[in-house]
Structure 1
Amino acid sequence: MLIRKPEIPSSEITPEATYLNRRQFFGAAAGALAASALPTSLAACTMDEAEAAQRDEPNSYEDITSYNNFYEFGTDKSDPARLASRTLRTRPWTVEIGGLCDRPGRYAFDDLVRPHQKVDRTYRLRCVEAWSMVIPWRGIPLRDVLARARPRPGARFVEFTTLLDPAQMPGQRRSVLDWPYVEGLRMDEAMHPLTLLATGLYGRDLPAQNGAPLRLVVPWKYGFKSIKSIVRIRFTERMPATSWARSAPTEYGFYANVNPAVDHPRWTQARERRIGEWRKRATLPFNGYPEVASLYRGMDLRRNF
């Protein structure tokens, strides 16, 4: 399968000087789509909302690295920062790429990352628990890595798997989830230019508690889709059975698009609390990235949550 790799506009890349000066920049989220272009049950962002989102400033490095969901190290938000740097060994690191592709293989981290241009992108992160952050990531577009493997025509999904090693990840000694952690994307979602394999933040290497050395970032989806410490990428014909969807299928769906119109069974998704702020703000459809709406045209996003 020959995959055409479109050029990334310079407007999608955040210069290091920009985020180090705490000036907010968002890729292609500058406008709002017309309501008619959006799927069922998801209204478009207004222009005012889109412009306000662009003015969001990044959270501090301290915020981003001290308040995390990474259940492999515990269920408390402080557990990853307290434990991950003590036990997680991020070098050497390999990623196995396989499944329905013509160039499967096991890649050392540097061999996987080095051939690709690194980009700096500041994205909003919205967690299903109704809190959010703004994070200046550094990484490589996922589509660049996937294209090297030459997915076959039958590959409709991409499955990702986290490291399984209870000695390094003490949270895996508890049956919070069916380990290892597994996530997945539809192929067109994986190939979208906003989808990132993050290797760092704030111009530094990715900290252990944030998913070192390699994590997925899908900014229009709830945070649990952005799987951390990836060791395997696999192309599949069928939708992967993802960890949270297996654990609580009525609460966590495969698509997990940020949708203020569809509440979690235990709390509203219409509003969120940005870490560092006390006043809650309105949640934006697709987390304020309306350019992905065309991926879901015609879908019922209440049913496909």
Structure 2
Amino acid sequence: MLIKIPGVGDCSESQVTPEKAYLGRRRVLQGMMASAACSVIPRLSWADAERYADVPAAAAPGWFADKLRHTRWQALPEDESLTPYRDATHYNNFYEFGPGKGDPARNAAGMVIEPWAVLVDGEVERPGKYSVEELFAPSQLEERIYRLRCVEAWSMVIPWLGFPLAELIRRLEPTSAAKYVRFETLARPEQMPGMRGDFSLIDWPYVEALRMDEAMHPLTLLAVGMYGRVLPNQNGAPLRLVVPWKYGFKSIKSIVRISFVREQPATTWQRMAPQEYGFYANVNPQVSHPRWSQARERRLPGSLFNPNIRETLLFNGYADQVSHLYAGMDLSRDY
């Protein structure tokens, strides 16, 4: 079995954000100046630089620190609370570093992320190799607080830092022949022990893809940070995708290649288990995984006595923004 559903007691009660810390985080949002944003994106505002003072500092390249000073920060949605930083960084899937939820945090520190280049190729007017700095140079960092729903039926709420993928696509100028965008993860076995171990049955490198209109949607984010800090290696440093209305495996980590292609690419999980994982992977409570229901989810953190179970929302709660992308499609078949 390639994906294991974690037990409800995997997270301890001690990991829950203290009420005092949570309320203090809310207070620093007072007095922020409003700034305009696309109508489908929650309002963005300037925020106090100490907003995530309780999150461990991390070494970051100079360009990131410079961008951080001019970041547009987002107010926390009234009906959500952030997943504690430790849960978001110590409970995740990144199979290049091992199959366990804690393996990425234990094993990813050895991944070298500087320098980092992304190959852009395919049906595009501006192909080439770009550094992360070059990709982000013209854009302002934005914070986006998104729900993250794993196909394994657990979920989080994470504040990401990045900019809309659509901005980069417009700069790269894909041709009219480009119908899909294909992404590829770093494959470096000497630094990624999961590629050498029992989980090496995956056909590396890890590949994901989006239809062009999905990639151009303003909610689709290229992220370089989270919780006001640079991305940790285990969360996909230095560059990852975030597509909040899809299951988490679509949000590919540690991207080294972006290709604009004519035909729908074969993605990793779709290729390995097509009866279980479709190309679209939209969050849909009405379409069960063959081995478990998707109608409910376990929001982290939780405990044995308080597993924090809630109803799953269609498109992970972003239906008003994205459902038009799938008009006329049979979502039970095109899953």
The TM-score, its normalising length taken from structure 2, stands at 0.78
Are the structure 2 counterparts of residues 15 and 269 from structure 1 closer, same or farther at C-alpha, using a change threshold of 3 Å? farther
Q: 1:253 aligns with which of 275, 278, 281?
A: 278
Structure 2 residue 309 is matched with structure 1 residue 280? yes
- Deviation string, structure 1 residues 4-41 (Cα, Å, up to 9, x no partner): xxx63574436544964999635xxxxxxxxxxxxxxx
C-alpha distance in 1 between matches for 2:46 and 2:146: 13
Q: 2:181 aligns with which of 154, 158, 183?
A: 158
CA contact (8 A) 1:16 1:203 kept: no
Match of 2:5 in 1: none
Contiguous gaps of at least 5 residues in structure 1 = 1-6, 27-53
Moved more, 172-181 or 93-102: 172-181
Q: 2:111 aligns with which of 88, 105, 122?
A: 88
Structure 2 residue 224 is matched with structure 1 residue 194? no
Structure 2 residue 160 is matched with structure 1 residue 137? yes
Match of 2:66 in 1: none
Shift of 1:275: 0.9
Structure 2 residue 203 is matched with structure 1 residue 178? yes
Structure 2 residue 304 is matched with structure 1 residue 304? no
Shift of 1:279: 3.0
Shift of 1:147: 1.0
Structure 2 SS opposite 1:294 = helix
C-alpha distance in 2 between matches for 1:12 and 1:21: 22
Match of 2:64 in 1: none
The TM-score, its normalising length taken from structure 1, stands at 0.85
CA contact (8 A) 2:156 2:299 kept: yes
Q: 2:82 aligns with which of 58, 65, 68?
A: 58
Shift of 1:185: 0.1
C-alpha distance in 2 between matches for 1:11 and 1:284: 18
Shift of 1:176: 3.3
Higher relative contact order (CA 8 A, sep 6+): 1
Shift of 1:251: 0.6
- Deviation string, structure 1 residues 119-158 (Cα, Å, up to 9, x no partner): 0000000000000000000011101111111010111000
Paired amino acid for 1:169: M
- Deviation string, structure 1 residues 239-258 (Cα, Å, up to 9, x no partner): 01100000000111000000
Contiguous gaps of at least 5 residues in structure 2 = 1-36, 55-73
Are the structure 2 counterparts of residues 298 and 17 from structure 1 closer, same or farther at C-alpha, using a change threshold of 3 Å? farther
Moved more, 93-102 or 170-179: 170-179
Give me the CA root mean square deviation. Answer: 2.0
- Deviation string, structure 1 residues 95-131 (Cα, Å, up to 9, x no partner): 0111001111100111111211110000000000000
CA contact (8 A) 1:24 1:57 kept: no
Structure 2 residue 246 is matched with structure 1 residue 218? no
C-alpha distance in 2 between matches for 1:124 and 1:158: 23
Match of 1:32 in 2: none
Structure 1 SS opposite 2:108 = helix
Structure 2 SS opposite 1:122 = strand
Are the structure 2 counterparts of residues 21 and 293 from structure 1 closer, same or farther at C-alpha, using a change threshold of 3 Å? farther
Q: Which has the larger radius of gyration?
A: 2
Structure 2 residue 101 is matched with structure 1 residue 77? yes
C-alpha distance in 2 between matches for 1:274 and 1:168: 31
* Runs of 4+ residues deviating >2 angstroms: 7-26
Are the structure 2 counterparts of residues 68 and 146 from structure 1 closer, same or farther at C-alpha, using a change threshold of 3 Å? same
Are the structure 2 counterparts of residues 16 and 164 from structure 1 closer, same or farther at C-alpha, using a change threshold of 3 Å? farther
Match of 1:295 in 2: 325
CA contact (8 A) 1:24 1:58 kept: no
Structure 2 SS opposite 1:273 = strand
Paired amino acid for 1:283: T
Match of 2:44 in 1: 13
Match of 1:239 in 2: 264
C-alpha distance in 1 between matches for 2:165 and 2:174: 13
Structure 2 SS opposite 1:221 = coil
Paired amino acid for 1:299: M
Match of 1:40 in 2: none
- Deviation string, structure 1 residues 214-246 (Cα, Å, up to 9, x no partner): 000000000000000000000001001100000
Match of 1:147 in 2: 170
